[in-house]
Structure 1
């Protein structure tokens, strides 16, 4: 399947990305405060896609993903969701893509091989052609590498990755910061195209909105300095 549209580096336009940030805040998925990341950094924000946890939120989330994917222009033949969060995401995104007129097969993996029934690690359509992996965020890229191995073992081609948020910060190797982001690692080292619904820059733009409207907007604006400082220290 080939999508054609106006390109955007992260697969989403500014208006859609701002709407997604607002949606993430409303859903409690995006929060501000002090949070320790997997890399041991003290982050002023936290993004937990597992809190898109009811039918209405999942439907809306799938629409953001599908629209970003279509706008990205990425060509692919099917969708794959790595266990566990990717299972729900890939299923929902495949349904929304079909609603938009792009009906493609989807599959996902189990963490443990099933030893009865149909057996095996894979569920859904047979993996073939160019595969779009759908997940929530990238931290170390471990889950992406595992998904790629599964796809290749099945004889298909891992081709692209769609995520909800690009944190745009330095990745780590052996406990040390390196001057590329996790997304850039996936693009340069693993050769995947990457589509993100929104980025850390989009969060910063949202925090810089007109603060004269509501008290809630003023409270959000108060977090801008901390997020900006984090971006300056760890950003790519």
Structure 2
């Protein structure tokens, strides 16, 4: 059984992951759409910047976030609301999850048959209706996959979080940080095992739900 402190870590991790994904999804979709359908100068540079967190050490990403949100940084006015708080952990998780979400959604957008959209327009459907009834349903499995991948990445985020908002019990101590702390303490192996098991269970549940939603979305697209 988990202690009250361990339950607090689990709930905080879920809160950070859910908030990060809810805030990130519109941004990730917009970026994926630009990269999949847009034609503009600097597209390659934007693509590289989006995927930069994948290749940078997470500690470097966390350090850059710290510089941005430091009192003397460009976003210093917001630092009082996020430094050493769970909202900062959500920002770090969102930044690290962004490349995975954008890539999954972009591939789903690129996989949409443009001829279906063109056919709908020739039948009198406006752009908004085409997007709502054709494009979005066809993209739905990729969007779900992106959200799940992003959530799993957010749940496992360590380096950027501890560098950006430190490891504050009850505020920024998510599952990976709590497991790391337990491993540094004598006799903390049992706690680490329990928290690791919870991490695995949450990730498996997310993947199962994702697969179920993706299959249902696929059946809906087939009907269309």
Report the TM-score when normalising by structure 1.
0.25
Work out which of the two has the higher radius of gyration on C-alpha atoms and give 1 or 2.
2
TM-score (norm 2): 0.26
Higher relative contact order, chain-length normalized (CA < 8 Å, sep 6+): 2
Greater strand content: 1
